[in-house]
Chain A
Amino acid sequence: MKGILYLGWRYLTYHWVKAVILISSITLILFLPAGLRVLVQQSRSQLTLRAQSTPLVIGAKGSPLELVLNACYFSSKVPEFIPYGHVEEVLQSGLATAIPLYVRFHAQNHPIVGTSLDYFDFRDLHIAVGRQMSRLGDCVVGAELAREQGIQPGDTIISSPENVFDLAGVYPLQMKVAGILAFSDSPDDAVIFVDIKTAWIIEGLAHGHEDLTRPAAAQRVLKQQDNVVIGNASVVEYTAITDKNINSFHFHGDPAAFNITSILAVPNDHKGKTLLIGRYKADQATRYQILEPDTVLDELLATIMTIERFVITALVTVGISTLVIAALVFMLSLRLRKREIITMTRIGGSRLAVNCILVSEIVCVLLTSIVLAAGLTFATARYAADVIRFFL
């Protein structure tokens, strides 16, 4: 048997181009439906898990899917904003805890999530290294992101401008990393968390600058009217919040009117959930919508399953064609090896050995393809979560 396998292996390595083409083709037609199935199953369980752990999402009326994806998975598509004051309204109802989310900004390609400390209790996130954020400008980083970028407590992260050409808009803020979260196997591992107020600073709704009432700042003062001091364009705004300048930071406007992208509503009980949903549904004129993420995701998953069925049907059809062609290639190969067969038979090769040598080509190709397809499927299963998060 060893001799037969050796001869089969030598044949394949000599005709490696043919072998590689055959193995690649068969591997692909085996892997694609399996891998797709695994990806869809993993997507389904990941999405479902995250959605089921999020009772209610409140946001502006519009695309439910966009809102849920932004709130649960921090997708880069930003829904329409709602005022922060609505968080207080939900809290005042006494029916649920309201957790604000402002998922709009990025540091390079990594989402910055503005929220409150309640979010960490809700998602059961804990600090693994360092401490929780305490002041404006602090941030905590997800475990995966920290590992990839080599981020440690004490490092700084700079937010990215939304638009390079909009100089008067969102400007980069240097944030201090207070801590790194423990791994949670969720989208929370790949984002940067800041206090909602820090997110507003990034937006430009709050800033810090030198004290214009000091005599030393006289050249920066445009005019002073009554108790109002108006600075000119030379006033320098701080791009980092430090112990020295934190007290100079102040908000302009009423925070109740400031933007957020959504509210995670955690009902106190089932009755509270029903009542809360009922209030929004009853008010046709409301600018808000309330969603149960698992219901929204179910619709998405149903669509994905339908598409999956079509794709797998197509893949199976292509697969059958590929296998037919592979069979033709094997038949032609056997024909080309006829003389070799005659020689081996003439010099005394056993019928079994000769047949095994011929079949070994087919077996080796198929086995290698199956092993590769299995390996790729396993790798897909292992890294599907990361792939899904990347595309979300």
Chain B
Amino acid sequence: MKVGFVRVRIVLLMLGVCCMVSCSPEQEKPRPGAKGDKTIVCTVNYPLAYFAKRIGGDLIDARFPGPIDEDPAYWQPDTAAIEQFQKADVILLNGAGYAKWMEMVSLPTSKCVNTSAAFKDHYIDLVAELTHSHGPAGKHAHGGLAFTTWLDFSLAAQQSKAIKDALVKRAPEHTADFEANYAGLEKDLMALDQEMKMVAAEIKGTPIVVSHPVYQYWTRGYGLNVQSVHWEPDEVPTETQWQEFRKMLVGHPSQCMIWEGNPAAEAVDALKAMQIESITFDPCGAAPSEKDFLDSMQKNIQELQKYIIQDSIKE
């Protein structure tokens, strides 16, 4: 009898434990975007990462996984970098055919945001060219669409708006913060736009040569008279390139060469001998070594302003 009673108690105890275990609440899966979870944003270039960081602040983790010393437009991500994109909550694309590597990889399309979709009808077509090669990225062609949309600061503001909308959709509980931050960024970008317009007004019609065909939206956005060569800042142009340059100057007598990076001193001297000033206007596709996007663009505009002042002194 005693043994039977003990057995009953053990069975009841086991039943009770089973009930407790089965009734314990399921561990909740973390809800994406829930408070405490940072939204992970991956971008295809530095400007978009900057815009995202300005809008998202500490509420997001904005990353551009590309290398510092390579043009993101021609960067080929490795498997680890692709995985970063795949695991992101939001993937910000530039659009206009930027980052051809996108066609070769698998990304969750629902998380991809084309930041320039609002003005896709105004993309700039490029004349198709045969391939050529330079830099660590290897061979590429400048055919298709122009893609440095952010150099037209009004378009950059539209891209920022698209980023803000994407973040609001992803984490609506932070809408107020995103809106406030976006307003600040938009103000800065439109201020840049206004400054650039004033500079453009000063140099309206003046023939300008750019070292690389990456200023199309800047040219169109600010009504500039620009023609392009294919020179690398860190390389001295070859004799053939000089010949083509001189031929171009006949119809486009520029006194200003805009470089996308710090040019070689020999090239600068050679241009100076031709009465052509060298100005560095960093498109900022990759992260600048010292400043941020805004500072870099302000510096670019200042360089132009300096040139205008010098030019007017000469006159």
Q: Do chains A and B touch in the complex (CB under 8 A)?
A: yes
**CB within 8 Å of B: which of A116-169?**
116-118, 121, 131-136, 138
| Per-residue contact bits, chain A 83-98, to B (CB 8 Å; 1 contact, 0 not) | 0000100010000010
Total interface residues on B, CB under 8 Å, equals 21
Residue of A nearest to B108 (CB): A117
Determine if B109 is an interface residue (Cβ-Cβ < 8 Å). yes
Determine if B104 is an interface residue (Cβ-Cβ < 8 Å). yes
Q: Are A227 and B129 in contact (CB under 8 A)?
A: yes
Query: Bound state CA distance, A227 and B103, in angstroms?
Result: 23
Residue of A nearest to B85 (CB): A134
Total interface residues on A, CB under 8 Å, equals 26
Residue of A nearest to B129 (CB): A227
Stretch in contact with the other chain, from B14-22, B76-84, B199-207, B227-235: B76-84
A133 and B106 in contact (CB under 8 A), knowing A213-B131, A227-B128, A227-B130? yes
Q: Which of A91, A97, A138, A250 contacts B106 (CB 8 A)?
A: A138
CB distance from A140 to the nearest CB of B (A): 10
Q: Are A132 and B130 in contact (CB under 8 A)?
A: no
Q: Are A97 and B110 in contact (CB under 8 A)?
A: yes
Q: Which of B79, B103, B110, B111 contacts A197 (CB 8 A)?
A: B103
Query: Bound state CA distance, A213 and B131, in angstroms?
Result: 8
Q: Are B109 and A118 in contact (CB under 8 A)?
A: yes
Q: Which residues of chain A are near B86, meaning CB under 8 Å? A: 117, 132, 134
CB distance from A215 to the nearest CB of B (A): 12
CB distance from B30 to the nearest CB of A (A): 15
Determine if B23 is an interface residue (Cβ-Cβ < 8 Å). no
Residue of B nearest to A246 (CB): B104
Most buried by A among B83, B110, B111: B110
CB distance from B230 to the nearest CB of A (A): 15
Q: Which residues of chain A are near B8, meaning CB under 8 Å? A: none
Residue of A nearest to B140 (CB): A247
Q: Which residues of chain B are near A91, meaning CB under 8 Å? A: 109-110
Q: Are B109 and A116 in contact (CB under 8 A)?
A: yes
Query: Bound state CA distance, A197 and B106, in angstroms?
Result: 8
Determine if B105 is an interface residue (Cβ-Cβ < 8 Å). yes
Query: Bound state CA distance, A211 and B141, in angstroms?
Result: 13
Q: Are A121 and B108 in contact (CB under 8 A)?
A: yes
Q: Are B108 and A134 in contact (CB under 8 A)?
A: no
A247 and B83 in contact (CB under 8 A), knowing A135-B106, A136-B104? no
Query: Bound state CA distance, A246 and B105, in angstroms?
Result: 10
Q: Which of B76, B82, B105, B109 contacts A247 (CB 8 A)?
A: B76
Determine if B107 is an interface residue (Cβ-Cβ < 8 Å). yes
Residue of B nearest to A88 (CB): B109
Q: Are A213 and B130 in contact (CB under 8 A)?
A: yes
Q: Are A134 and B109 in contact (CB under 8 A)?
A: no
Q: Are A131 and B107 in contact (CB under 8 A)?
A: no
Determine if A189 is an interface residue (Cβ-Cβ < 8 Å). no
CB distance from B198 to the nearest CB of A (A): 37
Q: Which residues of chain A are near B139, meaning CB under 8 Å? A: 211
Q: Which residues of chain A are near B104, meaning CB under 8 Å? A: 135-136, 197, 246-247, 249
Q: Are A135 and B128 in contact (CB under 8 A)?
A: no
Q: Are B108 and A118 in contact (CB under 8 A)?
A: yes
Q: Are B106 and A118 in contact (CB under 8 A)?
A: no
CB distance from B107 to the nearest CB of A (A): 6
Q: Which residues of chain A are near B111, meaning CB under 8 Å? A: 118
Query: Bound state CA distance, A330 and B79, in angstroms?
Result: 73
Residue of A nearest to B100 (CB): A247
Determine if A251 is an interface residue (Cβ-Cβ < 8 Å). yes
Q: Are A117 and B106 in contact (CB under 8 A)?
A: yes
Query: Bound state CA distance, A250 and B111, in angstroms?
Result: 24
**CB within 8 Å of A: which of B69-126?**
76, 79, 82-83, 86, 103-111
A131 and B83 in contact (CB under 8 A), knowing A211-B131, A227-B130, A247-B76? yes
Query: Bound state CA distance, A79 and B130, in angstroms?
Result: 41
Determine if A361 is an interface residue (Cβ-Cβ < 8 Å). no
Q: Which of B107, B129, B131 contacts A117 (CB 8 A)?
A: B107
Query: Bound state CA distance, A91 and B169, in angstroms?
Result: 14
Query: Bound state CA distance, A251 and B144, in angstroms?
Result: 13
| Per-residue contact bits, chain A 229-242, to B (CB 8 Å; 1 contact, 0 not) | 10000000000000
Q: Are B106 and A116 in contact (CB under 8 A)?
A: yes
Determine if A195 is an interface residue (Cβ-Cβ < 8 Å). yes
CB distance from B14 to the nearest CB of A (A): 29
Known: A134-B106, A197-B103. 16 other contacts (CB 8 A): A91-B110, A116-B108, A116-B109, A117-B107, A121-B108, A121-B110, A132-B83, A132-B86, A134-B82, A135-B105, A138-B106, A195-B106, A197-B106, A213-B130, A213-B131, A247-B104
25 A/B residue pairs, CB under 8 Å, sorted by A: A87-B109, A91-B110, A99-B110, A116-B109, A117-B86, A117-B109, A118-B108, A131-B83, A134-B79, A134-B82, A134-B106, A136-B104, A136-B105, A195-B106, A197-B104, A197-B106, A211-B131, A213-B130, A227-B128, A227-B130, A229-B130, A247-B76, A247-B104, A247-B138, A250-B103
Q: Which residues of A contact B (CB under 8 A)?
A: 87, 91, 97, 99, 116-118, 121, 131-136, 138, 195, 197, 211, 213, 227, 229, 246-247, 249-251
Q: 6 tightest A-B contacts by CB?
A: A117-B108, A195-B106, A134-B82, A118-B110, A97-B110, A116-B109
